[in-house]
Structure 1
Amino acid sequence: MFYFSLVIIIAFMFVHIFTNYIKFLDRKPKDRLMSFVSGGSIAYVFLHLVPELTHYQKVAEEARLPKWIESLEYSTYLLTLAGIAFFYGINQLNEKSKAKNEREENLSQPSRSIFALEIFGFALYNALIGYLLVDISGEKIPDYIIYFVVFSFHFIANNRVLHLTHEDRYTNIGRWVLALSVFIGWLLYQFTSTSDLNIAYFSAFLTGGVILNILNDELPSEKNSSYPSFITGLIFISVLLQFIL
């Protein structure tokens, strides 16, 4: 699966680089599309990523860890919460910086330091997605395809928000950093040693990040969202997962 996983990673990189050129995302039907995407993403998280937390918790319990970690109940679930808190914190800093700049300097963008922090956070996020591709997808090509479809739409949603928030900074720097980070994550998995514990903790943290970012970036506002499209996406991915899991 080495070469097939490489193809998926390269495709992810193209998604990051060329999201800005997908013109239909600027039209009103995008709300129906994003509702469909968010439904599919949530189905993938709760039917594939979240159930794996039980397995990852067993891995953590069987590993030799420092006593203070062993004393923690449900350490993988705590890391999922940490993932939610990490990306929620970045989002809050971003919103506050943007509001301050609008109020004091009549600028529509957050500060450069917040841009750097947000790109760092999403670079880490993308690296984890690249790193975990092979382990989560296993040996089944349909699993790789669903992984690609779900996270491609997820990337597109995140990228559009980053582009609208940071404008030229994202276009000139951010998208290239994010494209490279997913490739770096894949390289680290392929050419460095890993362990079941690393996979468990990385997956738990990523799951928290995915949940938060779906709720933040993929669900359209209530007045623009399409409930039928959301349910269609949720059912579509749920049915696919039933066939391959």
Structure 2
Amino acid sequence: MVSLYIVITFICALGFAFIHFSSKYMQFANKVPRSRFLSLSAGVAVSYVFVHLLPQLNTYQQVVVKNLQQSSWRHIENHIYIIALAGLVLFYAMERLVKISRKSKVLKNPEQADSVIFWIHMGSFFIYNTVIGYLLVREEYKSPLGIFFYFLALGVHFITNDWSLRRDHKGAYDKYGRIILTAAPVLGWLIGILTELNEFVLSILQAFIAGGVILNVMKEELPEEQKSSLSSFLAGVIGYTVLLLLI
């Protein structure tokens, strides 16, 4: 008999997929000044990272240290935070590649589907979303409500990511990118059902995602030209933080 836990996580994985697939039709997200919802979404994602995910990294650091006791890497401190930093740097590099390619005479325009930059960008986000789908199954939750809060935080984060990727790649994203990212969280969920990584690898994945979420949120919320809504951002931060503290 299929457990309630598996059913709930599968529904959430389908929810992630639906968000990507239907992002093309979310017209409210394609405006500058930005819709208040996007600023609210950014606030929720930031709260999730700093109130829930980053505090967990300390636990993951202990797991990593335990597994590296017989390795030369044991002399390095704060392994897990370095991995989170690597996640942030990787996605920053992707953004810089997109911007540089627009001015380069060698690299093809990232707005075109035959652009190397487009497929590198899609590949990085495919892995990113697949890992999030995997963690939907394999992260330890205290209750079904914990799964819902994970889905809520990453779901609104996906909406912001879709808006950003559509801005960078336009028609190529709607034609190819969103389909690829629609499949990613479901694939991650399926991998999570069929396989179980050890605590060490799971800790690394969590840290990598933490760094990626921080960069992907901040790069959309901070630029002045986006004209973000401070009140909506604060509402997302405060509201989601209160919900996390109540569970």
TM-score (norm 1): 0.91
1:42 and 2:46 equivalent? yes
**2:101 matches 1:97:** yes
Distance 2:132 2:69 in 1: 25
Asked if the contact 1:126/1:181 (under 8 Å) is kept, the reply is yes
Contact 1:31 1:224 survives alignment (8 Å): no
Instruction: Return the offset for 1:226.
Output: 1.7
Are positions 1:2 and 2:6 aligned together?
Answer: yes
Deviation (angstroms), 1:183: 1.3
Mapped to 1, the partners of 2:33 and 2:183 lie a distance apart of 30
Q: Are 1:189 and 2:189 an aligned pair?
A: no
Identity of aligned residues (%): 32
2:150 to 147, 150, 159: 147
Confirm or deny: 8 A CA contact 2:42 2:236 kept in the other structure. yes
Q: Call closer, same or farther: CA 1:2–1:205 in 2, change over 3 Å.
A: same
Could you tell me how far apart the structure 2 residues matched to 1:97 and 1:162 are? Answer: 15
Corresponding position: 1:54 with 2:93: no
1:94 partner letter: V
- Does 2:128 match 1:125? yes
Aligned to 2:175: 172
Does 1:158 pair with 2:161?
A: yes
User: Are 1:81 and 1:208, in contact at CA under 8 Å, matched by a contact in 2?
Assistant: yes
Say whether residues 1:238 and 2:241 are aligned partners. yes
1:73 aligned counterpart, secondary structure = coil
Q: Distance in 2 between matches of 1:30 and 1:141?
A: 33
Instruction: Give the alignment's Cα RMSD to 1 decimal.
Output: 2.2
Letter in 2 for 1:96: I
Counterpart Cα distance in 2 of 1:2 and 1:139: 15
Q: Structure 1 counterpart of 2:131, which letter?
A: L
Give a deviation string over 1:33-72, Cα, whole Å, max 9, x none.
2222211111110000000000000011111566232222
Q: Distance in 2 between matches of 1:188 and 1:66?
A: 30
SS state at 1:76 partner: helix
Structure-2-length-normalised TM-score: 0.90
* Partner amino acid, structure 1, of 2:7: Y
Supply the distance in 2 between the matched residues of 1:94 and 1:68 (Cα, whole angstroms): 37
Q: CA 1:196–1:223 in 2, change beyond 3 Å: closer, same or farther? A: closer
2:52 counterpart of 1:11: no
Question: Displacement of 1:24 after TM fit?
Answer: 2.1
Structure 1, gaps ≥5 residues long:
none
Say if 1:26 and 1:58 are closer, same or farther in 2 by CA, change over 3 A: same
Task: Sort the Cα spacing of 1:2 and 1:65 in 2 relative to 1 into closer, same or farther, 3 A.
Answer: farther
- CA deviations 1:79-135 (Å, max 9, x no partner) are 00110111111111111002336x999x68377100000000000100111111133
1:154·1:218 contact (CA, 8 Å) conserved in 2?
no
Q: 2:231 matched to which residue of 1? A: 228
Distance 1:115 1:27, change over 3 A: closer
Unpaired stretches in structure 2, ≥5 consecutive residues: none
1:31 maps to: 35
One-letter identity of the residue aligned with 2:162: N
**Distance in 1 between residues matched to 2:234 and 2:137, nearest whole Å:** 29
Q: Distance in 1 between matches of 2:36 and 2:51?
A: 22
